Structure formats: C-alpha cells, structure tokens
Structure 1
C-alpha cells in the first residue's frame, strides 16, 4: 500500500503533464516583447537621430513649399503646373511628424507606416521634381532682378528637395534596421511532453522499489 502511494507520488512529481500556455497568450506576449525591444532600440541606439531627421524633413519641406510657390509666381504667374514639388512636400511634412511620433513611442505598426509614407514621398517627390523640370507653362518676361530671384528660388527648391530625399532615405534605413533586428525575437517556448506511466516509469519504479 505504501509502495503504491509512493509510486503515485513519484508520478505526480515527475510525469504529470502541466498545462501549456494558450497560443493567443503566447502571440500577445511575443507582440508586446517585440514592441518593447523596438522601442528600447529606437530610444537607446537610434537616440535622437530619428527625431533630428524628422525635424529636418519638416523644415526642408516647408522651405521647399515656400520657394516653389515663389518661383512659380515670379516666373510663371503662379501656374499650378509649376507647383508640383509643393504637393510632394506635404507628404514630407507628414512623414516628418510621424518620425517624431515614432521616436517618442515606437512600435511595429508605426514603423511600417513610417516606411510606407517615406517610400511614397520619395517616389512622388522625384516624379514632381521631374515634372517641374519640364516647363509646361510659358515663362513671363522678367527683369534682371526678377530673373535672379527666380533662379535663387528654383535652386533653393532643388536643395531643400534633396534634403527631404536624404532624410527620407535615412529614416527608411533606420526603420528597416530596427524591424530586421528586433521584430522577430529568437526564442522558443518549451512544454513538457506527456508520457505513459506504464511504459516510461516502469524501470524507475522498479529501481526505487529495489532500493527500498
């Protein structure tokens, strides 16, 4: 009788199957851990680089809007077709604001959205700059001072657009690096394997009984 009770106790201690965590709980924990690692990486490793890039993007985009409108109004009587770089600058402003928000509190969804907005801004900005280089509107007659101001405004538009390009590329690089390194933590969850007491613990129980 005592041997049976002792065998039952050994089985309860060593071979009783423990309930494994539910898949939904594991997925939730994995997502929270991933976001925590990404947020820590952007706060510690990236530090303020993403914030500075976002501010540069916003300021360059606003300056690009101003110089583009100035150039279009001076040289082409405010023709809408010559203000296309200003349209893409609006997306650069949105991308810069999102970069500041990601620096404040980063998570996977925000970073994916940030990469998407910056990729779209790059494509749209390049297309707008290319379309602006093709003079669709007829230039008006300008004086020497007006022509010089128009050239300065056009050159400033190109410079600020290049700043937005470089800031977007750098933000995309930082975002991709963070997602690639920390979006999928490499760990495995182990659970006990249930065993048949008649097949597995037979020799062990025989040895315990022999020692007694």
Structure 2
C-alpha cells in the first residue's frame, strides 16, 4: 500500500506543500476522513484548520441518487444536477425540502465539530482543500466551487491519491492540484491504505481542538 494510514499520508502531503508555508495558508478538510490528513498538513505549515462540509441532495424516493449537493460556508452553495432532477420529475418544492434538511444536517455537524467558531475568512488568502482521497470527484468539485466563491487568492486541492481521469476533470476547479499517487485503474480510496478504519466524530473534535489556538478568531482570520 502507498500509505500506512491517514496520518502517514498527511505527513507526506505536507512535504509536498511546504513551499506554501510562508504564504499564511488556511487548510480546509473534508470530514471525516480528510481531517487526520489535513491535521498533519496544518501542523507542518503552521496553518489554521477548518472544515468544508458537503451533503448530497438525494432524490426523495431514491436517496442514493444525487440530484445535487449542498456545501456549508458563510453563504452555503447549492449545486444542482439538472439531468437527474428532470428525469426523476422532481418539483422545486421537493428539491427545496431535501436541500433544507441536508443544510440543517450540515449546520448540526459544524456545531458538533467546531462549536460556534465562525467560518474562516478566505478572501485574499491561500486556501488548501484536503481529503484522504478522491473517487468520483463530485463532493470535491462542490467543495472547490464553494471555496472559490469566497474569493481566495489561490485555491489548492491536495490529496494523497485519486484516479487520473478525475484529476483531469477537476483541473479547472482549482488553481493547483497536488496529488501524491494517481492511477488510471483506481477502485476505492481505501485500497491505497493499510489502515483505513473509519474516523469517528470524537476523533474529528479532538483533532480540531488540539490544533485550535487560544485566540481562534485571530488565527482563522489572520
């Protein structure tokens, strides 16, 4: 396996990102799996760590089928899959109902993970979005678009492993993509880790608490 666990992947990813340390970056993790990876990068770059939460908007009678996605942020971003909406004959009221429910779940999870800490100010900053890997890229694309809307000076996508085709499809969504391992034949992200156990909510909270400075407002908005 290329990586022992997420911490190992994070340390290796941090080495590839060290050139950004003097640019005062903000590290953003896709929970839950991206948090241990991003924590190692945030520590190495002496950067604040925050979250970007993405929820699928599923078709009401087929929740696994995504008719869109919603991403948290100071102004939440809603991404619509118009082909699915039309094919499934979803009304605007039904779409809005599911979207509202998923946004409420995002807000609940943000409170669970970071409490009342405000969203980081990304305008004019270097933002580094991190996950433990990419499969289809749908959540990653939605997250990148949400971060882009907040006006960072530079947007970097950094992941340990991803399919080559997905990386090509994401090229226009980030200014720079850093990926340590890419494969034409991919499978699942977990195939590339010796230890890919599930990350718990408690672990996410503990990681964020350990990296949170005493003056959180100044650290996130500096």
Q: TM-score range by the shorter chain?
A: under 0.3
Which structure has the larger Rg over C-alpha atoms? Answer: 1
TM-score by length of 1: 0.24
Could you say which structure has the higher strand fraction?
2
Greater RCO structure (CA 8 Å; 6+ sep): 1
Higher helix fraction (1 or 2)? 1
